[in-house]
Amino acid sequence: MRLEDLAGRKVALLGLGADVLAAAPAVAASGPDDIAVVDDGPAAEATDLPVLTLAEAGAWADVFVRSPGFPRYQQPLTDALARGAEMTTPVDLWMGTHGEGRTVVMISGTKGKSTVTALLGTLAERGGFDVGVAGNLGVPVFCDGWNHEASLVILEVSSYQAADLHHVPDVAVLTYLSEDHLTWHGGVGRYVADKLRIVRNEAGTAPRVFIPAEGGRAASALEALGIEPTVVTPPEADPTVPVHRLQNAALAGAVLAALGGAELVDVEIVAAARHAMPGRLDPCPGPEGLLCVDDALASNPSATAAALAWLRGLDRPTVVLLGGVDRSVDPSPLAEEAARWPEGLLSAVVLPDNGPALAARCGIPAITKVDEVSEATTVAVQNVGEGGAVLLSPAAPTPPAVGNWETRSNQFREALAEAAR
């Protein structure tokens, strides 16, 4: 959709999170007949707009501008769509309104999308491109914190945002496709279908698509759509560089070359892969002799499996801090990786909510259950043994009552610093 499509229509803003709040002035300026809000948080109390329940909005609105906190498959919304209402998101509105006349790259995937987005943005800027980077990595497309006039725009797109996308980019990257957010999407099939709207939707055309050599379901899912992607293989490097970090850097390098930038040689890809991002397999200070790794952003079993595969290659006894919100995601990737470990080298300290069940289903011996990352870190340090590794990689999102991934990351690092003292 485009902003101009909202003119003369009743528009419901579903949630006043950062994306929708940033888009609200542009939505209001597009000339809707009326605007209302569905939100029960403090942002709704501060607005001058009418506040409706979801059921009321479902019966009233012509168009819904949806934030991630509102699954599109709730009954009032599916009923509204059935009667002819339309659904969009800020990313979709931005694409329809501002996407033409420039090159747009969209990056999505079950894991790795933020890393590839950040790397590609950095590499493109170094290569002299006029570049803007926004999207799911914390920069709403309608906010002022990025280069809106850029000729090259790189957008990280979550499955929540892709689900109501009606436009396709010039280039799409699927970093890895397994499963996640199943309670939101209502199943694996719908999750995959929603993700794939970045490559095929009502727009009727397909972008150039890049996937990694080890991309989970990506290749088969694209084949089913009749789309032939460019498959990117990472260079070989020493085992101190995680393989999927190499893969992410190789993807960014391949897209850069396709856009007309310099083709990176292997040593440059390896150098890019060594650049750590906070909360993503980021080695951090800790007690002497231990390898301590902050992977707090690993919110699904596939991400934690990738972290453990790297540590298995280093042949270190490892304690992983495991557990968070249960989203009914298949733990098979983590169970398969855990089964590859020699007996006695891998154990876990488990956290609420699903840590105990996750460890049990994956066959990872649990040392104990604790309530907080700080205590879990102390227990892990005490039990890992000389030359071992302590890994915060929860394989599930942080419970809202705790905070977010940064909360757990900070707790982990502070506990490590205390243990080092």
Burial of 259 (0-12, 13-18, 19+ CB in 10 A): buried
Residue among 67, 42, 33, 70 at smallest CA distance from 54? 70
* Dmax (CA) of the chain: 68
Instruction: Indicate if 294 and 409 belong to the same structural domain.
Output: yes
- 113 and 14 within one domain: no
Spatial CA neighbour of 34 closest among 59, 14, 52, 9: 9
Do 141 and 239 share a structural domain?
A: yes
Is position 168 within any domain? yes
Residues 243 and 116 in one domain: yes
61 domain residue, yes or no: yes
Predicted pLDDT of residue 34: 97
Q: What is the DSSP string of 281-349?
A: SEEE--STT-EEEE-TT--SHHHHHHHHHHHHHHT--EEEEE---------HHHHHHHHTSPTTSEEEE
Give the C-alpha separation, 30 to 24, whole Å. 10
Q: b vs e for 378-415, b when ≥16 Cβ sit within 10 Å of the residue's Cβ?
A: bbbbeebeeebbbbbbbbbbbbeebeebeebbebbbeb
Whether 316 contacts 323, CB under 8 Å: no
Neighbours of 78 (CB within 10 A): 12
Whether 113 maps to a domain, the answer reads yes
Residue 288 and residue 247 share a domain: no
Confidence (pLDDT) at 308: 96
Q: Give the span between the Cα atoms of 356 and 354, in whole angstroms.
A: 6
Q: Are residues 353 and 412 in the same domain?
A: yes
Residue 321's DSSP bridge partners are: 349, 392
Residue burial 292-321, b: 16+ Cβ < 10 Å; e: rest: bbbbbbbbbbbbbbbbbbbbbeeebbbbbb
pLDDT score for 243: 86
Beta carbons of 418 and 287 less than 8 angstroms apart:
no
CB 57 within 8 A of CB 13: no
Domain boundary among 243, 274, 305: 274
- Cross-sheet strand order for the sheet of 291-294: 282-284, 291-294, 389-392, 318-322, 346-350, 366-369
Asked if residues 296 and 321 have their Cβ atoms less than 8 Å apart, the reply is: no
Residue after which a domain boundary falls, among 249, 274, 299: 274
Residue 208, beta-bridge partner list: 171
Number of Cβ within 10 Å of residue 110's Cβ equals 28
39 located within any domain: yes
Predicted structure pTM score = 0.83
Query: pLDDT value at position 323?
Result: 97
Residue 2 belongs to some domain of the structure: no
Do β-strands 171-174 and 63-66 pair in parallel, antiparallel, or remain unpaired?
A: unpaired
Instruction: Retrieve residue 319's tokens.
Output: 């304690």
Q: Are residues 115 and 204 in the same domain?
A: yes
**Is residue 340 in some structural domain?**
yes
One domain for residues 100 and 245 = yes
Instruction: Pick the last residue of a domain from 223, 249, 274.
Output: 274
Contacts of 75 (CB under 8 A, 6+ apart): none
Helix (H, G, I), strand (E, B) or coil at 123: helix
- State the CATH number of the domain containing residue 48: 3.40.50.720
In tens digits, what is the pLDDT along the chain, a chain of 421 residues?
999 999 999 999 999 989 999 999 999 999 999 999 999 878 777 788 999 999 999 999 999 999 988 888 899 999 999 999 999 999 999 999 999 999 999 999 888 888 899 999 999 999 999 999 999 878 999 999 899 999 999 999 988 899 999 999 999 999 988 766 656 656 778 888 888 999 999 887 889 999 999 888 889 999 999 999 999 999 988 788 888 889 999 999 999 999 999 999 999 999 999 877 788 889 999 999 999 999 999 988 988 998 999 999 999 999 999 999 998 888 999 999 999 999 999 999 999 999 999 999 999 999 999 999 999 999 999 999 989 999 999 999 999 899 999 999 999 999 999 999 8
Which residues lie across from 86 on neighbouring strands? Answer: 63
Residue 3 is assigned to a structural domain of this protein? no
Distance CA 155, CA 106 (A): 5
Together in a domain, 240 and 265: yes
Same domain, 24 and 168: no
DSSP annotation of 184 reads H
Considering the domain architecture, whether residues 258 and 335 belong to the same structural domain is answered as: no
Residue-number span of the structural domain to which 265 is assigned: 93-274
For residue range 123-181, what is the model confidence (pLDDT) as tens digits? 999 999 999 999 987 899 999 989 999 999 999 998 889 999 999 999 999 998 876 66
Identify whether 1 is part of a domain.
Answer: no
Domain harbouring 305, CATH code: 3.90.190.20
Structural domains of the chain, count: 3
> Is the CB of residue 305 less than 8 Å from the CB of residue 312?
no
Does residue 346 share a domain with residue 360? yes
- Distance, in Å, from the CA atom of 299 to the CA atom of 280, rounded to the nearest integer, reads 11
Backbone angles phi, psi at 277, to 5 degrees: -110, 145
